[in-house]
């Protein structure tokens, strides 16, 4: 990165960011007086209407990590990197139109997916589901703070020694209003963050198109990658197995990813929940398309000017800090920071809700006072924050960031989506099948993650690849549900 200097201005861009952060904190803290019990804290009293649900879901699922991961896909694969966004868009639209699984889920009035499982399969399945959801969710979120810290450190032009400081600052800002205000604070700040994020991101995209020209960007892609930059089915770089993973994880996350499904469970009714999904579906395509485009723009910039970072995941922040003018850069960073705060707050709240509502259910049995429940949830959010800080400093990311998110997400996506579909539409599904699904669905991706870190098995992990292991996890989980349920029926007979 020799010769590249960040254009960030502390006197202009820094002031824009500071004003925004203060405004967000005040808005988030202003609603804490409305939080009276656990229901208010975790699902905002189930009073989320259509427009708030759309803004909240869109803002939550678009943080710095998502933007960096999707920009990396554009940087490495061109417009073929938008494929996961297409899979998510189609999946969300399908579920929003049909109500597949989410209608019976919302009609039961549950707070989490495992709570729904208890009604079908019993308390043990609920508890085990809660454990794998939290395990997969925390491992998935574990890189968020580090990636956010990397992004801001590079944007600000700071030495890498400031990474820990950036991570801590991000965590503290998010933790303050999330711990105190819960879902109400998250929803209010999401509204602000959605607006700022949209303005900042669209402004930068327009600048890139105006400055570099669409034809120059596409010609550069074609010269470097050829036709595979525009078609994921050819060239062998993206590949059919990866497309299958995009489809499987896309549908599974739409159905069971806690931060997504929370918006449905917090909606006023099932119809509103479906409308939120239908209306937000286009944004899930846009959240891949725009960052992927920025990745394409970064590739063009570095091709023309040199100075590309050694790690492709860092291409976006290095590009933005050197190519975007002062003022616009501050607005963009405020938008990106807004998105990251929204994502982190929602995720911390989502996993704390599962821990309290499902894993700790045998302890509190729904009998704790409103005050004790609130204090416990706030302590859980704080504990999750500390874990994220430590894990982010320790875990060495290998390969694509988006692939890591898919593999860790599969720890619970494979089993939870299988069990949810079976619970809703297969009358003969039972607790044996559910437990078998949880065990198989979580063990396969965990084994693969461990193999990546051990020297003796790293070569085998590379040979297998994350895509085949993820597909294998989904297939074997579905088979485990079928075989386990059939075995119990046979024993009964």
> Any residues with CB less than 8 A from the CB of 441 and at least 6 apart, and which?
132, 410, 411, 412, 414, 415, 416, 418, 473, 474, 476, 477, 480
Q: Is 188 helix (H, G, I), strand (E, B) or coil?
A: helix
Question: Could you tell me which of 187, 248, 180, 246 has the C-alpha nearest to residue 60?
Answer: 187
Rounded Cα distance between 417 and 428, Å, is: 17
Pair of tokens at residue 431: 């607790």
Nearest CA-CA partner of 259 in 344, 327, 174:
344
pLDDT tens digits, the chain, 493 residues: what are they? 444 566 778 888 888 888 877 776 676 666 555 545 445 444 444 455 566 666 666 666 777 888 888 999 999 999 999 999 999 999 999 999 999 999 998 888 887 888 899 989 999 999 999 999 999 888 888 888 888 888 888 888 888 777 778 778 777 877 776 666 555 556 666 667 677 777 888 889 999 999 999 999 999 999 999 999 999 888 767 778 889 999 999 999 999 988 788 778 877 888 988 998 999 899 889 888 999 999 999 999 999 998 889 889 999 999 998 888 888 888 888 877 776 776 777 778 778 888 888 888 788 777 777 778 778 878 888 888 888 888 877 777 766 788 888 888 899 899 999 999 999 999 999 999 999 999 999 999 999 989 988 889 989 988 998 899 999 999 999 999 999 999 999 887 6
Q: What is the CA radius of gyration of the chain?
A: 22
Residue 413 lies in a domain: no
For residue 380, give both structure tokens: 């859980």
Does a structural domain hold residue 83? yes
Provide the CA 181 distance to its chain's centre, in angstroms. Answer: 21
- CA distance linking residue 331 with residue 197, whole number of Å: 8
Q: What is the DSSP string of 190-223?
A: HHHHHHHHHHHHHHHHHHHHHHH-HHHHHHHHHH
As a whole number of angstroms, the distance between CA 140 and CA 142 comes to 6
Which residue in 300, 381, 332, 276 sits closest to 152, CA to CA?
A: 332
φ, ψ at 257 (rounded to 5°): -65, 120
CATH number of the structural domain spanning residue 40:
1.20.1730.10
Q: Check: CB of residue 298 under 8 Å from CB of residue 131.
A: no
Classify the C-alpha dihedral 215-220-222-223 as positive or negative.
Answer: positive
Classify residue 330: in a domain, yes or no.
yes
List alpha helices for 7-143, DSSP H: 13-30, 38-43, 50-60, 64-77, 83-98, 102-107, 113-121, 123-141
Q: Give the residue among 425, 491, 208 at the shortest CA–CA distance from 322.
A: 208
Q: Which domain holds residue 282?
A: 13-398
pLDDT digits (tens, 9 = 90+) for 325-377: 888 888 888 877 776 776 777 778 778 888 888 888 788 777 777 778 778 87
Tokens linked to 200: 């900042």
Domains: count for the chain: 1
> How far apart are alpha carbons 172 and 341 in whole angstroms?
10
Is 309 part of a structural domain of the chain?
yes
Cα dist from 448 to 135, 250, 370, 440, 441, whole Å: 15, 20, 42, 13, 12
The percentage of the chain sitting over the pLDDT mark of 90, rounded to a whole number, equals 37
Residue 450 inside a domain? The answer is no
pLDDT tens per residue across span 368-411: 777 787 788 788 888 888 888 888 777 777 667 888 888 888 99
**Phi, psi angle pair for 313, to nearest 5°:** -65, -20
Cβ neighbors of 169 (< 8 A, separation 6 or more) are none
Whether residue 415 is contained in a domain is answered as: no
d(CA 117, CA 431): 9
Flag whether 350 is in a domain: yes
Residues contacting 8, CB < 8 A, separation 6+:
14, 155, 156, 157, 321, 326, 329, 330, 333
Rounded CA-CA distance 229/237 in Å is 9
Judge whether 39 lies within some domain.
yes
Give the single-character DSSP code of 111: S
Neighbours of 271 (CB within 10 A): 13
Q: What are phi and psi of 267, to 5 degrees?
A: -70, 160
Closest CA to 315 of 60, 10, 18, 77: 77
């Amino acid at each position: 990165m020799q010769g590249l200097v960040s254009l960030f201005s502390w006197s202009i861009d820094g002031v824009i960011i500071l004003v925004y952060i203060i405004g967000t904190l005040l808005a988030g803290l202003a609603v804490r007086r409305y939080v009276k019990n656990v229901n208010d804290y975790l699902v905002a009293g189930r009073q989320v209407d259509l427009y708030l649900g759309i803004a909240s879901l869109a803002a939550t699922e678009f943080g710095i990590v998502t933007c960096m991961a999707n920009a990396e896909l554009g940087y490495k694969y061109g417009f073929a990197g938008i494929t996961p966004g297409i899979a998510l868009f189609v999946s969300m639209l399908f579920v929003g139109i049909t109500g597949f699984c989410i209608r019976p889920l919302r009609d039961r009035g549950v707070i989490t997916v495992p709570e729904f499982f208890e009604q079908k399969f019993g308390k043990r399945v609920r508890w085990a589901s809660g454990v794998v959801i939290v395990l997969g969710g925390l491992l998935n979120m574990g890189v968020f703070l580090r990636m956010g810290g990397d992004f801001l450190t590079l944007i600000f032009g700071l030495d890498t020694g400031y990474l820990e400081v950036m991570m801590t600052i991000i965590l503290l800002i998010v933790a303050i209003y999330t711990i105190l205000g819960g879902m109400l604070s998250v929803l209010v700040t999401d509204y602000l963050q959605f607006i700022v994020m949209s303005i900042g991101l669209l402004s930068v995209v327009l600048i890139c198109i105006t400055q570099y020209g669409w034809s120059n960007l596409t010609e550069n892609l074609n010269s470097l990658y050829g036709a595979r930059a525009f078609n994921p089915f050819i060239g062998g770089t993206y590949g059919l197995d990866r497309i299958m993973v995009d489809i499987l994880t896309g549908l599974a996350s739409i159905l069971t990813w806690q931060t997504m499904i929370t918006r449905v469970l917090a909606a006023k009714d099932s119809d509103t929940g479906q409308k939120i999904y239908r209306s937000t579906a286009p944004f899930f395509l846009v959240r891949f398309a725009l960052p992927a485009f920025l990745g394409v723009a970064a590739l063009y910039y570095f091709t023309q000017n040199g100075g590309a970072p050694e790690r492709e995941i860092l291409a976006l922040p290095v590009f933005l800090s050197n190519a975007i003018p002062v003022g616009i850069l501050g607005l963009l960073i405020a938008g990106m920071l807004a998105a990251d705060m929204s994502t982190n707050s929602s995720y911390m709240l989502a996993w704390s809700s599962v821990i309290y509502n499902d894993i700790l259910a045998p302890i509190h049995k729904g009998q704790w006072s409103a005050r004790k429940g609130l204090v416990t949830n706030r302590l859980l959010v704080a504990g999750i924050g500390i874990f994220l800080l430590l894990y982010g400093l320790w875990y060495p990311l290998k390969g694509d960031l988006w692939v890591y998110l898919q593999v860790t997400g599969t720890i619970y996506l494979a089993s939870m989506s299988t069990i949810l579909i079976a619970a809703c539409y297969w009358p003969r599904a039972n607790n044996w099948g559910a437990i078998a699904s949880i065990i198989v669905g979580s063990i396969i991706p965990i084994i693969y993650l461990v193999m990546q870190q051990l020297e003796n098995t790293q070569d085998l992990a590379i040979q297998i690849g994350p895509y085949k292991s993820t597909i294998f996890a989904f297939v074997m989980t579905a088979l485990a549900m079928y075989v386990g349920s059939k075995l119990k029926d046979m024993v009964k007979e």
